[in-house]
Amino acid sequence: MTPETLDKPDLVLHGHFDKDHERRYAHVPFDVPAGRRQIHIRYSYNDQIDSDPTLGGGNTLDIGLFDERGIAESSAGFRGWSGSEKMEFTIDESWATPPYRKGKIRPGGWHVLLGPYKVGPRGCDWKVEIWFDPGVPSPWRGVGISRRVDPDPLPEARPGWLRGDLHCHTLYSDGDSWPPEMLSAAGAAGLDFLGVTDHNNVGHQLAYGPGGDGLPIVVPGIEVTTYGGHWNAWGTDRWWEFREPESKAVERTIRAAAESGAVVSICHPKPFGPPWEYEGVTGFHAVEVWNGPWAQQNAASLAFWESLLRRGDRRVALGGSDTHYLHGRNLGARDADRLGAPTTWVQVGDRPTAKTILEALREGRSFVSESPGGPQLYLEPDRGRAGRVSVEVRGGAGGRLELVTDTATPVVRMVDGDAWDDAFEVPAGAAYVRAQLTSARGDVRALANPVWAERL
Ligand SMILES: [Zn+2]
């Protein structure tokens, strides 16, 4: 029995969402009889369009599943959420379609979670079909970890610094690869760590394992994906509430994640990121100022971050490639996905672990560059003299180094060699100073976190 040859379903649920239900989750109850070992769910709806935020005029319906343990916040009954990516999935006692969780099929009241992300002019008529014990065989075969490829030699970092990518997706959400493939691709790209952030699930974390031992260190994370914006949390092994797209609820969850020890970052606050719609929400550590190639609207994310800095709101800048596809798939700009574009560099000293990487991220001992090859940009208080900073640029010949403060016009120097450094007087009264390296076209090639005045 394969999903293509299923008989009539045991249960059919259906309903309708109007435009005024857009972006509000619904929990549709159904009963699971005793003695079952497998559930297969398939759904469909009219006027289906892709979840790409640039598309409108039709319907995009997300789906997830809760078992009999209930739908409450942080419930252990959350069996997974696949967005609009999978039109059917199986949960068996001994296996499940990723990102869903395998495990006991207990009798009782279960819920299909339906999220009308977009509702078109004709409304959304949906149908969910459910089979109990249809006998779908496991599609899992040994997913061979691809041969390890030694990366091309990259320019050396300063001692104690690591390079990594903080944002990627696998088959556990809307990517096209298995976690071991993603990890070995990150190794081949020359990265020392990989933040793993599938949407609204943590099932991928087990499939990755801890990394290290010749592969990049895994920094376990999740992209909490809500209808008003996305946020990443790293250093957490549980799902976080995503069903309430309201500022108050989002801030409450962000604060809870931060208090649990996670590093929290707002993702891609720029047009079509999708953007961040929760004005005034705080409690996060960082902003993903650089998501994918710089030219893809990242100047808007940088402006968002800088407006926080100017208010004295100390958030750390970091980057992530948001890689979805290792095997090529024709989805326009997303073809440009490349691990390490951009790369986030962190200072961890002589103990490279997920924990020290998280600490460096939280504290902003980091900078971002266009690729694992650099350019490298180190900004620090000048050890020799108070009121000054020193800047070292490696591999940035031909670029423009800009020193930005909240009070004066940026100071600009041309970087005339691949091993370049200089020191700068910081204008009196400046609250912070930060540095960026730009190309002749004005694209940012590297971006350093600020030094705040009290350290000068
Ligand atoms: Zn996202």
* Cα(170) to centroid(ligand 1), Å: 13
State residue 329's pLDDT score.
Answer: 58
366-369 and 444-448 as β-strands: parallel, antiparallel, unpaired? antiparallel
* Cα(169) to centroid(ligand 1), Å: 10
What average pLDDT does this structure show over 231-253? 97
* Cα(88) to centroid(ligand 1), Å: 23
Question: What does pLDDT average to over the chain?
Answer: 93
* Cα(322) to centroid(ligand 1), Å: 7
* Cα(450) to centroid(ligand 1), Å: 25
Q: Vertex 175, ends 326 and 233: CA angle to 5°?
A: 115
pLDDT, tens digit (0-9, with 9 covering 90-100), for 253-297: 999 999 999 999 999 999 988 999 998 999 999 999 999 999 999
State residue 276's pLDDT score.
Answer: 95
* Cα(267) to centroid(ligand 1), Å: 6
Q: CATH assignment of 375-456?
A: 2.60.40.10
* Cα(266) to centroid(ligand 1), Å: 9
> Which residues lie below 8 Å from residue 453, measured CB to CB, with a gap of 6+?
426, 430, 431, 432
Of 3 and 443, more confident: 443
* Cα(291) to centroid(ligand 1), Å: 9
* Cα(199) to centroid(ligand 1), Å: 8
Per the listing, tokens 């490298």 go with 376
State residue 427's pLDDT score.
Answer: 92
- Break the chain into its structural domains and give their ranges: 3-132, 161-373, 375-456
* Cα(52) to centroid(ligand 1), Å: 11
What is the 3-state secondary structure of the chain? CCHHHCCCCCEEEEEEECHHHCCCCEEEEEEECCCCCEEEEEEEECCECCCCCCCCCCEEEEEEEECCCCCCCCCCCEEEEEECCCCEEEEECCCECCCCCCCCCCCEEEEEEEEEEECCCCCEEEEEEEEECCCCCCCCCCCCCCCCCCCCCCCCCCCCEEEEECCECCCCCCCCCCHHHHHHHHHHCCCCEEEECCECCCHHHHHHCCECCCCCEEEEEEEEEECCEEEEEECCCCCCCCCCCCHHHHHHHHHHHHHCCCEEEECCCCCCCCCCCCCCCCCCCEEEEEECCCCCCHHHHHHHHHHHHHCCCCCEEEEECCECCCCCCCCHHHHHCCCCCCEEEEECCCCCCHHHHHHHHHHCCEEEECECCECEEEEEECCCCCCEEEEEEECCCCCEEEEEECCCCCEEEECCCCEEEEEEECCCCCCEEEEEEECCCCCEEEEECCEEHHHC
pLDDT, tens digit (0-9, with 9 covering 90-100), for 195-216: 999 999 999 999 999 999 889 9
Of 243 and 335, more confident: 243
Q: Is this model's pTM higher than 0.85 or not? A: yes
Check pLDDT > 70 for residue 406: yes
Q: CATH assignment of 3-132?
A: 2.60.120.380
State residue 333's pLDDT score.
Answer: 44
pLDDT, tens digit (0-9, with 9 covering 90-100), for 337-364: 799 999 999 999 999 999 999 999 999 9
* Cα(380) to centroid(ligand 1), Å: 31
Q: What are phi and psi of 239, to 5 degrees?
A: -85, 150
Using CA atoms, how far apart are residues 249 and 260, in angstroms rounded to an integer?
A: 17
* Cα(388) to centroid(ligand 1), Å: 38
State residue 334's pLDDT score.
Answer: 47
pLDDT band at 53 (very low <50, low <70, confident <90, very high): confident
What average pLDDT does this structure show over 163-176? 95
State residue 143's pLDDT score.
Answer: 54
* Cα(271) to centroid(ligand 1), Å: 12
State residue 2's pLDDT score.
Answer: 67
Strand partners, 27: 113
Q: Vertex 400, ends 395 and 404: CA angle to 5°?
A: 115
Check pLDDT > 80 for residue 142: no
Using CA atoms, how far apart are residues 156 and 153, in angstroms rounded to an integer?
A: 9
* Cα(422) to centroid(ligand 1), Å: 37
* Cα(269) to centroid(ligand 1), Å: 9
* Cα(37) to centroid(ligand 1), Å: 34
* Cα(236) to centroid(ligand 1), Å: 17
Using a CB cutoff of 5 Å, list residues around ligand 1, an ion.
230, 267
Whether the Cβ atoms of residue 291 and residue 267 lie closer than 8 Å to each other: yes
Strand partners, 108: 32
pLDDT band at 146 (very low <50, low <70, confident <90, very high): low
Whether the Cβ atoms of residue 370 and residue 377 lie closer than 8 Å to each other: no
Q: Could you tell me what percent of the chain has a pLDDT over 70?
A: 95
Of 146 and 266, more confident: 266
* Cα(245) to centroid(ligand 1), Å: 15
Check pLDDT > 70 for residue 100: yes
**Are domains 3-132 and 161-373 of this chain identical in fold?**
no
* Cα(278) to centroid(ligand 1), Å: 15
Check pLDDT > 70 for residue 238: yes
* Cα(314) to centroid(ligand 1), Å: 22
* Cα(223) to centroid(ligand 1), Å: 7
Rg (CA), the chain: 23
* Cα(319) to centroid(ligand 1), Å: 12
Check pLDDT > 70 for residue 149: no
What kind of fold does domain 161-373 have according to CATH? TIM Barrel (3.20.20)
* Cα(316) to centroid(ligand 1), Å: 18
* Cα(398) to centroid(ligand 1), Å: 33
What average pLDDT does this structure show over 20-37? 96
* Cα(224) to centroid(ligand 1), Å: 8
* Cα(445) to centroid(ligand 1), Å: 22
* Cα(168) to centroid(ligand 1), Å: 9
* Cα(253) to centroid(ligand 1), Å: 17
* Cα(33) to centroid(ligand 1), Å: 37
Check pLDDT > 50 for residue 314: yes
* Cα(324) to centroid(ligand 1), Å: 11
